[in-house]
Structure formats: structure tokens, C-alpha cells
Amino acid sequence: MATQHRYSIGIHGGAGNRPTPPAKARLIRESLKTILEEGGARLAAGATALDTVVHCTRLLEDDPLYNAGYGSVPNSAGRFELEACVMEGRTLKAGAVTYVEYIRNPVELARQIMEQTPHVMLAGHGAGDFAATNGIATASQSYFQEGWSKYGKAENNGYGTVGAVARDCAGNLAAATSTGGQKGKRPGRVGDSPLVGAGTYADNAGCAVSCTGWGEDFIRTALAAYLDFLIAHQGLEAHTAARIAIEYLVAKINGNGGFILVDKTGSIATAQSSAYLHCGWIEHGAEPKTARHASLQIARDKR
Ligand code: ASP
């Protein structure tokens, strides 16, 4: 089947419940489109899904529009603690970082941990020490303060995590997620984004998925792993799996957020229980699309 050999890519710039001011929403849309086009061009030229999701997530981390990397939100002590995860669907290898305060691009560090160590996740000082010996770029807390001041500070929004999922021309899947976490979180709090099976997952037999929203809800439901289970083991197609998973998130714990996934055939699906999900995708090599809402929205009770 011809489409089996085409690439697909999906990215998101976070879920939220408050409307993004129109000027910022426009900038997000343009930014997502530019990054999608770049990711799509790389995949079309034969780049791997892994290289592509890391590259696109890095671009998102460098853009202060999002709550990741440069634009990360501070915790309750006014400090920036960043988290990220990357996963490769062919091998189920994964790398993740949490509680890093001085890493410019946490997704790059997550990849190095995946490739250079026998571990999946490093935290805090240990992650920093590993970064220092592996040539990973650092950044000061004032760098993140500066990035956050550009958009995040004024908007008190608290969402804006980023993620990328891709299927390359060889049929391999990969996913990455990066975040500053919840605004005002307790120091040391770990969210879903760096946790394999909660906020991030990739499995060539199922799907690659990146989640965003209230992280505790995604941890408690292991939502990324559940989506993969529905596709890889229950044989569901992407949109059906997305519907079942978002309904489960809401029915079980009134969960708040959304996700983007690409399945093993290259189909893209998005779903949300939040009011907004900034996202974009290129499906089977077609034209890029961007949206402020997932294709499927399930209502949840406000809390
Ligand atoms: N899921 C992230 C967290 O709870 C936040 C977000 O997606 O905006 O850390």
C-alpha cells in the first residue's frame, strides 16, 4: 500500500482551558506550521522518526511561546525545573530527564541518556553531571526567567507543554515530550511528560503518542500506554483508540488534557477533554494542518 511508505508527523504546543489571546494564538499557529514543515521535509528526505521528533521538540523548546525549554513556567519557589522524554518505537528504548534546572534543551539530554546509558531516566544533579560530560548545552535560571517573561508571565496560563510524534518512511515510530511542568508546582514535583507510558510512548506495533494537560491525570491512567495497548493489542484503528482513551480519562477520573498520536499505518489522531489543544500534523505526506482543538473533544466537569 503506497501510504505505508509515506511519512506522518504530529506536534503539539499544549492543552489548556483558557482561550489563548488571539495575537499569541496566531503566533503559535505560525510557529507550529513552520516546525511541521521542517519536520515533514526532513522525513521526506529520509530522516528517522527519532531524529525528527527530537529536532522538532528542540525547536519548540527554543520558542518562548511554549512552556518547555526557554519558555518554561516557574515552580512555587520561582525556580525552573524542566522535564522531557523521548522514545523509539522499533526498540522501545527510552530516555528521560526530570528536575533539571540548567539544561537548555532537555529533549537532547533525554536522547543522550537513552543512547549512552543503560538507564531510562536521570534526575536533578545526576542528570546535570551526565550532561556536563556529554557536551549538552546548559542554561542559567535567568535564561528561563527571560523566556518565561516574554509570554508566559503575563498570561498565567500554566499549560503549553510541547511534543512531537512521527512515523518515518521506513515505518518506524518515535515520540518526544518536553515541559516546564505545571505553573507553581511544588518543588520536586514530577509530571507525566517524562514518564514512559504516562505522557509519552512509542511502539512500532501500536502508536507514538505525546500527551499534555494535568499531568497527575495522565500518570494515574497510564494514558499513553493505554493508547498503545488499544492499537497494538486490541487491534483498534487510531481514531477509535483515541476516542476510547479520552472517554476513559474523563469517565474514570474527570481527567483534563489531550494528546496527539500517530499509529503504525501513519494515521494521526488527536483528542482532548480540555478546552484547547494547540496542535498540527502532516498525515501520509499530505499538506500541513494546524488547529486549536483536537479532532475529538469530550466534555468534562470543571473543577
Ligand atoms: N502535562 C504537564 C505536566 O503536568 C503540563 C502540560 O501538559 O501543560 O507537567
- The CATH number for 235's domain is 3.60.20.30
161 CB near ligand 1 (under 6 Å)? yes
213 CB near ligand 1 (under 6 Å)? yes
Is residue 37 domain-resident?
yes
Give one DSSP letter per residue of 97-147, joined into a string.
Answer: EEEESSBS-HHHHHHHHHHHSS-SEEEHHHHHHHHHHTTPPB--HHHHHHH
Q: What is the position in ligand 1's atom list of the atom closest to the CA of 180?
A: 9
CB contact at 8 A, 148 and 156: no
Tally of domains within the chain: 1
Per the confidence metrics, is the pTM higher than 0.95? yes
Nearest CA to ligand 1 atom 7: 212
Is residue 224 domain-resident?
yes
Give the pLDDT score at 2: 44
**Percentage of residues of the chain with pLDDT beyond 90:** 91
Give the pLDDT score at 158: 56
Is residue 87 domain-resident?
yes
pLDDT digits (tens, 9 = 90+) for 83-122: 999 999 999 999 999 999 999 999 999 999 999 999 999 9
Domain enclosing residue 134, as ranges: 8-291
CB contact at 8 A, 121 and 97: yes
Nearest CA to ligand 1 atom 1: 215
Mean of all residue pLDDT scores within the chain: 95
Q: What is the pLDDT confidence band of residue 152, given thresholds at 50, 70 and 90?
A: confident
Is residue 262 domain-resident?
yes
Return all residues near 206 (Cβ < 8 A) that are at least 6 apart.
Answer: 89, 227, 228, 229, 230, 231, 232, 233, 263, 264
Is residue 204 domain-resident?
yes
pLDDT, greater one: 303 or 191 = 191
Is residue 299 domain-resident?
no
Q: What is the position in ligand 1's atom list of the atom closest to the CA of 159?
A: 8
Give the pLDDT score at 94: 98
181 CB near ligand 1 (under 6 Å)? yes
Q: What is the mean pLDDT of residues 172-196?
A: 97
pLDDT of residue 303 exceeding 80: no
Q: What is the mean pLDDT of residues 144-166?
A: 84
Please tell me the distance from the alpha carbon of residue 243 to that of residue 249, in angstroms, as a whole number. Answer: 10
Is residue 3 domain-resident?
no
Q: What is the position in ligand 1's atom list of the atom closest to the CA of 213?
A: 7
pLDDT digits (tens, 9 = 90+) for 198-256: 999 999 999 999 999 999 999 999 999 999 999 999 999 999 999 999 999 999 999 99
pLDDT of residue 5 exceeding 80: no
Q: How far is the CA of 159 from the centre of ligand 1 (A)?
A: 6
Known catalytic residues are 161
Is residue 301 domain-resident?
no
Please tell me the distance from the alpha carbon of residue 292 to that of residue 294, in angstroms, as a whole number. Answer: 7
